[in-house]
Amino acid sequence: MVRGPGRRRVRERPRGGAQRRARARAGGRARARDPRVPPPPRRARPPAGRPLPGPLRARAALLRAAAQRARQPPRGLPAGLPGHLLGRGRLRVADAPLRRLRERVRARGRPDQGPRLSRPGRARLLAQGRQRRAPVRGPNRADPVRRRPQRRRRPAAAPADPDHLRPLPPGGPIRRGGPPADPLLRARRRGDRRRTAAALRARPQRGRAPDPGGLVSRRDRPLRARGLSLAPGALPAGGGVRGLPLRPRRPRRRRARRRRRRALPRGRRLDPLPWRALQGRLRALSHPPRDRAHRLPRAGLLLLIDLGHHDVLILGGGPAGLGAAWELAEAGARALVVEREEDTGGLCRTHARGDYRFDMGGHRFITADRELLDRVVALLGDELLLSERTSEVALLGRRFKYPLEPGDLARKLPPRLAARALASYLRQRLRRDPSPPRSFEEWATRRFGRVLYELFLGPYTEKVWGVAPRELSPEWASQRISVTDLGEVARTLLRRALRREDPAPPRTYARSFLYPRLGMGQLFEAIRERALEGGAEVLCGATPAALVREGDRVSAVELNTPQGPARVRVGAVLSTIPLPALLELVEPELARTLAPSLHFRPVRFLNLGLRAARVLPTTWRYVGEGELRAGRLQEPNKRSPAMAPPGRSSLMIEIPHAAGDRIDRLSDAELLAYMRGELARLDVPLEDAPPLVFSVRAPEAYPVHLRETPAARERALRAVDQLTNLRSYGRQGGFRFIFSDAALRMGIEAGRGWLADSLPPSVELARIASARTLTEVRSVVGES
Ligand SMILES: Cc1cc2nc3c(=O)[nH]c(=O)nc-3n(C[C@H](O)[C@H](O)[C@H](O)COP(=O)(O)OP(=O)(O)OC[C@H]3O[C@@H](n4cnc5c(N)ncnc54)[C@H](O)[C@@H]3O)c2cc1C
């Protein structure tokens, strides 16, 4: 080694082992060249009797002690163990068996860390109560005496660890009303990294955020927020009821991240969000979590979007779901609505294409519920129109008034058929069977007589439900059929004949109804906006995948979202999705058993924008002929002129069908070609090339009420009610033939129940609705 200029050590020759090897090679070569060169001196052994150097001495002592212990038959091992295994006798102990034996001896002292025992050995030790836990590590191949078994690494983080959870990307499908007040959320939503970082810096320390009146401390806010109407802005910017951050933050982790960032040279700071996600991904891949299986039932889930905690998760964004969100948001609770489609509204959605608007089936808002009516009127104000309903039935090539009227029937039916219809009706009325009807067929024939049933009600019902009326339960009939009681009509006609006055509309038929100017969907858009203003959130394009339970409660729900699997922790779940779909998550076995009794009838709506100014003489027409596939025709601008461009009209054809049948498979153009033939038979003029043709599908339009359905529904709802914070209600969730006002009312009642800390059971919610729907036809609007 020489000193070079500037006192730097200049390396001349290889050092250490390499140096020795080089010297040896040089020596060997020198000997080969010149025999006079003496061989290199051998390293001298330490003379016997001299003390070993310290470390070696310690090791030898350990070895001796181990050998000594190994010679004694270890306690717990059978006494007659072959001597060679114990190191005695002529056969000298082979290394490997001795090592294994030593490991076993050590394992008895430290059962947690010892090497793996054979199954019988482990069982024996377990039986002796010496081994608290089965060893989890594989055998330590290194000498156990020399090297202590390494400590087990901590298992990979549990899914609760936010490193496994991706924050929802900004601009995701969560919709809120207007830009959030929180600058951090605003910046995140815009994807502005600079502003995000600035907002993060400016953010007050989490633990020190002011708590207005001590009402909304972060921990117990869900409990305390109940029943409170929190003024907007009363909450700290860092996350009150509105705009809570989408991912949980931990101050300690944040500090650690800040330290890491400071350690990086300026200009090379890593963006915290992707870096964090990447870290989580790497960790998850390198340490597949063992304990995830029982918490997250789906395999292969390594990353979850964390949607945080919500007081109430509402499944389904139709009227029933939005009703609950509206009620909860007005009280300051944090609700998240999860909707399968790309927009909320459910069956009450209005689809707009240019200036044409189409409901799903042409809705009208009628209610006997004064409180609900007041709320709806206050919400929509001048946007609510009072419309007149006119309907007719196409039958036998003629058009009859709807609801059916005896005078109209007598005038338009062939005389012999009219006489037969009247006779069969009178026979039924005189018979007066006191037993409850067992099927829809019985209900309809007792009420209208067999001839009218076979002429219109039977074929129409079979077309709509896809099931023979004798298979159908009668429970839905009084809600669905607004065919007037013929006895009442006859009495009215008699009064008119005697007093020569115009009959008042029968009480069971609401001639007027409320209708939002831009379609039924406008009402539910307004409700959604009101809920969003109150702090509710809506996640579209998402469906529930699994319920995570803790005892008899649902603690979290896993979702499939457009961004990937997500999880939301919940205080309660209000479900309005189809009951069979929810049951599949709650009790799959029962769901399969009840599936034949709980199914839906899909409807496809063919929407046609027309150039003509008028198509039908009435608002809608029922197609009574059983052989035609169309169920109803509607002209939307008869409800509101804003449903079509000025001077133009449109037509909507409702086509009930079975899933996967011919109607389901046809393209829009093919369906139009098919429907042209039916429209010609119904005498409806249709232009050659309508400017707009599109169809909308409702896979769960009608819950099919079979005779066994009420019992099956009761069983399913009771199974749902076993989970104390889960409820199912609404048209799909309660599996009831209800209208939008009843669905809204159910949502409001469910929300109120949660706020009052007493969620009504699903079975009860369904009863409330049916009691209300029975009076639904006595419209307060119709009577005013
Ligand atoms: C042809 C027709 C005409 C009608 N006419 C009238 C009328 O004139 N007046 C009236 O008041 N009512 C009428 N109704 C009834 C009215 O539409 C319903 O009562 C009301 O929509 C029920 O609301 P809901 O929220 O219970 O169910 P839906 O409106 O069906 O809402 C359920 C929601 O859940 C969503 N969903 C389903 N599955 C999932 C899932 N797995 N995950 C997440 N979300 C899911 C759906 O996409 C939907 O948005 C009519 C219905 C039909 C079919």
For residues 645 and 416, give the distance between their C-alpha atoms in angstroms, rounded to a whole number: 46
CA dihedral 376, 377, 381, 385 (to 10 degrees): 100
CB 173 within 8 A of CB 562: yes
* Average pLDDT of span 55-70: 71
Instruction: List the residue whose alpha carbon is closest to atom 48 of ligand 1.
Output: 346
Together in a domain, 585 and 727: yes
User: Residue 590 is encoded by which pair of tokens?
Assistant: 């029962």
pLDDT per residue as tens digits for the range 435-453: 888 888 998 898 888 998 8
Least trusted range by pLDDT, from 221-230, 533-542, 712-721: 221-230
CA dihedral 401, 405, 407, 409 (to 10 degrees): 70
Rounded to the nearest whole angstrom, what is the distance from the C-alpha of residue 396 to the centroid of ligand 1?
32
Largest CA distance in the chain: 152
Chosen domain end from 499, 522, 553: 499
* Model pLDDT, residue 80: 42
Which residues is 771 bridged to in the sheet? none
Residue 122 maps to a domain: yes
* Model pLDDT, residue 591: 97
Residue 338 maps to a domain: yes
Rounded to the nearest whole angstrom, what is the distance from the C-alpha of residue 700 to the centroid of ligand 1?
8
* Average pLDDT of span 168-173: 43
pLDDT per residue as tens digits for the range 400-447: 888 777 788 888 888 888 889 888 888 887 877 788 888 889 988 988
Ligand 1 pocket test: pick from 314, 363, 727, 762 the residue with the most ligand atoms within 8 Å of its Cβ: 363
Mean pLDDT of all residues belonging to the chain = 72
Rounded to the nearest whole angstrom, what is the distance from the C-alpha of residue 311 to the centroid of ligand 1?
24
Instruction: List the residue whose alpha carbon is closest to atom 38 of ligand 1.
Output: 577
**Tokens 């998240």 -> residue:** 336
Chosen domain end from 200, 216, 247: 200
More confident residue, 118 or 749: 749
Residue 536 maps to a domain: yes
Report whether pLDDT(249) > 80: no
Ligand 1 pocket test: pick from 341, 740, 745, 776 the residue with the most ligand atoms within 8 Å of its Cβ: 740
In SS3 terms, 88-129 reads as CCCCCCCHHHHHHHHHHHHHHHCCCCCCCCCHHHHHHHHHCC
Give residue 550's domain range.
Answer: 304-350+363-385+510-595+708-784
> H/E element holding 489?
helix 486-499
Q: Other CB atoms closer than 10 Å to residue 578's CB: what's the count?
A: 22
Q: Other CB atoms closer than 10 Å to residue 610's CB: what's the count?
A: 21
* Average pLDDT of span 333-343: 95
Can you point out the beta strands (E) in 562-703? Answer: 564-575, 600-609, 620-623, 632-634, 650-656, 692-703
* Average pLDDT of span 344-362: 95
For residues 569 and 285, give the distance between their C-alpha atoms in angstroms, rounded to a whole number: 24
* Model pLDDT, residue 43: 53
For residues 200 and 473, give the distance between their C-alpha atoms in angstroms, rounded to a whole number: 60
CATH number of the domain within which 338 lies? 3.50.50.60
* Average pLDDT of span 366-390: 89
Report whether pLDDT(3) > 80: no
CB 185 within 8 A of CB 193: no
Together in a domain, 590 and 735: yes
Together in a domain, 439 and 531: no
Together in a domain, 461 and 337: no
For residues 283 and 396, give the distance between their C-alpha atoms in angstroms, rounded to a whole number: 72
Instruction: List the residue whose alpha carbon is closest to atom 35 of ligand 1.
Output: 316
Least trusted range by pLDDT, from 104-118, 222-236, 725-739: 222-236
Report whether pLDDT(49) > 70: no
Predicted confidence band of residue 214 (pLDDT cuts 50, 70, 90): very low
Together in a domain, 583 and 712: yes
pLDDT per residue as tens digits for the range 654-668: 999 999 999 999 999
Residue 248 maps to a domain: no
Together in a domain, 476 and 539: no
Together in a domain, 322 and 421: no
H-helix segments, 381-457: 406-412, 415-431, 440-448, 450-452
Rounded to the nearest whole angstrom, what is the distance from the C-alpha of residue 579 to the centroid of ligand 1?
13
> H/E element holding 175?
strand 174-175
* Model pLDDT, residue 415: 87
pLDDT per residue as tens digits for the range 367-377: 888 899 899 99
Least trusted range by pLDDT, from 294-303, 341-350, 434-443, 462-471: 294-303
Residue 186 maps to a domain: yes
Atom index in ligand 1 nearest the CA of residue 742 equals 19
Together in a domain, 464 and 519: no
Together in a domain, 416 and 481: yes
User: Residue 773 is encoded by which pair of tokens?
Assistant: 């729907």
What are the angstrom distances between the C-alpha of 500 and each of 20, 497, 503?
Answer: 131, 5, 9
Rounded to the nearest whole angstrom, what is the distance from the C-alpha of residue 522 to the centroid of ligand 1?
15
Rounded to the nearest whole angstrom, what is the distance from the C-alpha of residue 677 to the centroid of ligand 1?
30
CB 489 within 8 A of CB 508: no
pLDDT per residue as tens digits for the range 269-308: 333 444 445 444 444 443 433 333 333 334 344 578 899 9
Which residues is 386 bridged to in the sheet? 514
Together in a domain, 369 and 438: no
* Model pLDDT, residue 492: 53
* Burial class of 502 by CB neighbour count within 10 A (0 to 12, 13 to 18, 19+): exposed
CB 548 within 8 A of CB 296: yes
Together in a domain, 587 and 516: yes
Residue 762 maps to a domain: yes
Residue 665 maps to a domain: no
Predicted confidence band of residue 179 (pLDDT cuts 50, 70, 90): low
* Model pLDDT, residue 203: 60
DSSP assignment string, 17-75: HHHHHHHHHHHHHHHHH-TTSPPPPPPPPPPTTSPPPHHHHHHHHHHHHHHHHHHSPPT
* Model pLDDT, residue 252: 55
Atom index in ligand 1 nearest the CA of residue 698 equals 53
* Model pLDDT, residue 422: 87
Residue 534 maps to a domain: yes
User: Residue 730 is encoded by which pair of tokens?
Assistant: 């609404």
Ligand 1 binding pocket (C-beta < 6 A) is 315-321, 338-341, 346-348, 361, 363-365, 543-544, 576-578, 581, 603, 654, 698, 700-701, 730-732, 738-741, 743
Chosen domain end from 466, 499, 532: 499
Together in a domain, 411 and 535: no
Q: Based on the structure, what is the number of domains in the chain?
A: 4
**Tokens 């010679």 -> residue:** 71
CB 606 within 8 A of CB 614: no
pLDDT per residue as tens digits for the range 577-630: 999 999 999 999 999 999 999 999 999 999 999 999 999 999 889 998 888 999
